[in-house]
Amino acid sequence: MIPSVAIRRTWGPTSTFLLALGLATFLALWQLDFLGGSFSAPGGLSEFRRFFAAALRPTMTSANTGTSILPDLREALGTTVFVAFAAMGLALVVGFVFGCLASESLWERDPVVMETAVGRVAQRALLPTWLVAIRAVMAFLRSIHEIFWALLFTALFGLSLVCGILALAIPYAATLGRIYAEIIDETPRDAARAIRGAGGGRAATFLVGLLPRAAGSILSYSFYRFDCALRSSSILGFVGFTTIGLNIRTAANYDHYQEVWTYLYALFALLVATEVLSGALRRRIAAWR
């Protein structure tokens, strides 16, 4: 038995959102012709069947050369992992700088600054402008997907893993910066204010009073982002970099579906294992915090 009062009280802003969402869904369906022609595989149902039948029979032998694909697989997985790590290395450093610069806490208004005229001007006029500017820069860098950065860099410099790493690092640095800034701003500022009040410098206030308490969340989010980096790194192969996506795409172009499934299963295993491992690390961070 559901108490009717409870139901009546559930209508609120949430329900309004849901209603708006229903409308948006209808408009979206209308835009896409209600998904008309939603099944148009070139080979029809037989291709569909052939592809999923191959899922049960992944192969280790290349249909082109008759040799084992294990070396290819190993190399592709290695490249995928190392590209993700290399990009994360860059993104962590740049993202951390972004995050600190974009956080309000770093620039918090306090009596020491407000005593001078320059400080007052900086606080009232420059700070809001600065925050909007750096956040806009981050939003822009983030809004271009790593695949598009990769296409752009390939066009600029030619196809090279460096371009893939850079393409991955740029939007990731911007995303990390945004989230780091949010984390730093949600950290309680009492310790920082105490240090500032006791005469600590701005750097000490930030580095000792704020950062250590934000470190757990920052670390946790960085691990999560690595999972994402690994996924993105594998996808970069689809635009020509030598990560596992390239093997998948090539095998599919040759209609070697059994090989496609071998690569897919290997990738699934890698991604799930990473997810589980980073999940364990994140849980431990939460416990340690």
Q: What residues numbered 24-53 form the site for another protein, per CB under 8 A?
A: 24-25, 27-29, 31-32, 35, 37-42, 47-48, 51-52
> Residue 80: which residues within 8 A CB-CB, separation 6 or more?
230, 233, 234, 237, 243, 244, 267, 270
Q: What residues numbered 98-137 form the site for another protein, per CB under 8 A?
A: none
Instruction: Count the site residues for another protein by CB under 8 A.
Output: 95
Which region, judged by CB under 8 A, interacts with another protein, from 66-74, 194-202, 203-211, 232-240?
232-240
State the minimum distance, in angstroms, from the CB of residue 202 to another protein: 23
Report yes or no: 187 and 206 within 8 Å, Cβ to Cβ.
no
Task: Pick between residue 117 and residue 156 the one whose CB is nearest to another protein.
Answer: 156
Please choose, from the candidates 249, 260, 270, the residue with its C-alpha nearest in 3D space to the C-alpha of residue 74: 270
Which region, judged by CB under 8 A, interacts with another protein, from 65-73, 121-129, 198-206, 261-269?
261-269
Percentages helix, strand, coil for the chain, rounded to the nearest 5? Answer: 80, 0, 20
State the minimum distance, in angstroms, from the CB of residue 123 to another protein: 22
Task: Pick between residue 6 and residue 117 the one whose CB is nearest to another protein.
Answer: 6
Task: Pick between residue 192 and residue 236 the one whose CB is nearest to another protein.
Answer: 236
Phi-psi domain of 187 (left: phi exceeds 0; alpha: psi -120 through 50; beta: other):
beta
State the minimum distance, in angstroms, from the CB of residue 71 to another protein: 15
Give the integer Cα–Cα distance in Å for 272 and 284.
18
Give the integer Cα–Cα distance in Å for 168 and 147.
8
Q: What residues numbered 155-214 form the site for another protein, per CB under 8 A?
A: 155-158, 160-162, 165, 179, 182-183, 186
Task: Pick between residue 192 and residue 251 the one whose CB is nearest to another protein.
Answer: 251
265 lies in the binding site for another protein (CB under 8 A) = no
Q: What residues numbered 62-81 form the site for another protein, per CB under 8 A?
A: 78-79, 81
Which region, judged by CB under 8 A, interacts with another protein, from 64-72, 114-122, 140-148, 188-196?
140-148
56 lies in the binding site for another protein (CB under 8 A) = no
Give the integer Cα–Cα distance in Å for 107 and 164.
35
Give the integer Cα–Cα distance in Å for 237 and 147.
10
How many C-beta neighbours within 10 Å does residue 14 have? Answer: 9
Report yes or no: 105 and 184 within 8 Å, Cβ to Cβ.
yes
Please choose, from the candidates 187, 175, 177, the residue with its C-alpha nearest in 3D space to the C-alpha of residue 211: 187
96 lies in the binding site for another protein (CB under 8 A) = no
140 lies in the binding site for another protein (CB under 8 A) = yes
Residue positions counted in the chain: 289
